[in-house]
Structure 1
Amino acid sequence: MKINWGWGIAIGMLAFIAFIMYFVVTMSTSKEFDHDLVTEDYYAKEMVYQQEIDAETNTRNLDEAILSKKIAEGWQIDFPKSLEPSKIKGTLAFYRPSNEKLDFEIALNLTDQVVIIPEERLLGGRWNITIDWEYEGKPYLYKESITY
């Protein structure tokens, strides 16, 4: 049988479709290419979004800003000096977008304005920091993306 241009186009299209299907099946079934959800309870979190906006506004209205920086021991977060550290209660969360297993959370029980996250807890790469805290009954929220 002689292959004319019509059969050549059909064979080429079938080969291309098979090639694409191979990659689709490989990417969706392989554990090496595991895709985590960004947030488990996305819709529940969306419902409290206005409260987050208000808490972020409270943080921006502070006399001094929260400062965070890389130091030799790890990552340092400085709370405003005008606040009494013992009255700050909340959580400090480090979220790794590329790997859910590296996420961790620390309860804030401060004795001074400085929190240091040890270098051993942070792998190199992108991290999202979220500080959800309360001071004298008023909610505050601080978010920052860092590269360690």
Structure 2
Amino acid sequence: MKWNWGKGLVVAMVAFMSFILYMVITMSTNKKYSHDLVTESYYAKEMAYQTEIDAETNTYDLKEKIEGTKTNEGWLLSFPSELDPTKLTGKVFLYRPSNQQLDFDFPLVLSGSNLLIPDKQLIDGRWNITIEFEYENKAYLYKKSIVY
């Protein structure tokens, strides 16, 4: 039997298709390769995540941005002047990636259009600040990573 490039091409295609078929059958029947969702309520969590994205978008759409600066008294967050501080409700969560015991949260209470996180509550290092607040029945979310 004479061997030419056409037969070689057919043999290579059959070998490749056999390999792919073997992998599909092995991955779908072997219990070692689980294809379960990470959480049972995956789709419900996805909808909650979309709400979080919408709240962040609302924050980005503000005319002025929330600004954070380090002061002698602590970390000062300045909220946009377009927001009436008396109509804001929410909470502030500070997350310390290196030590879970240092995480804390407190209700959002502004002094004027500013929020001061006292120096005594923050130790040097990285912090993730998350502020969830509502203004005129619209949800807002501010996330920032800072080094104090």
Code of the aligned partner of 1:133: F
1:28 aligned residue:
none
2:70 aligned residue:
70
Q: List aligned pairs for 1:46-125, cutoff 5 A.
A: 47-125=47-125
Code of the aligned partner of 1:83: L
Any stretches of 5+ residues in structure 2 without a counterpart?
A: 1-41
Please list every run of at least 4 consecutive aligned residues from structure 1 whose deviation after the TM superposition is greater than 3 angstroms: 43-47
Note if contact 1:86-1:111 (Cα within 8 Å) is conserved in structure 2: no
User: Structure 2 length as normaliser, TM-score?
Assistant: 0.68
Q: Deviations over 1:28-56 (max 9, x none)?
A: xxxxxxxxxxxxxxx67655110010000
User: Structure 1 length as normaliser, TM-score?
Assistant: 0.68
Q: Please provide the CA RMSD for this pair.
A: 1.4
CA displacement at 1:143 relative to structure 2: 0.3
Any stretches of 5+ residues in structure 1 without a counterpart?
A: 1-42
1:126 aligns with 2:134: no
Identity percentage over the alignment?
A: 56
Larger Rg: 2
Q: Judging changes above 3 Å, is the alpha-carbon distance between structure 1 residues 123 and 106 closer, same or farther for their aligned structure 2 residues?
A: same
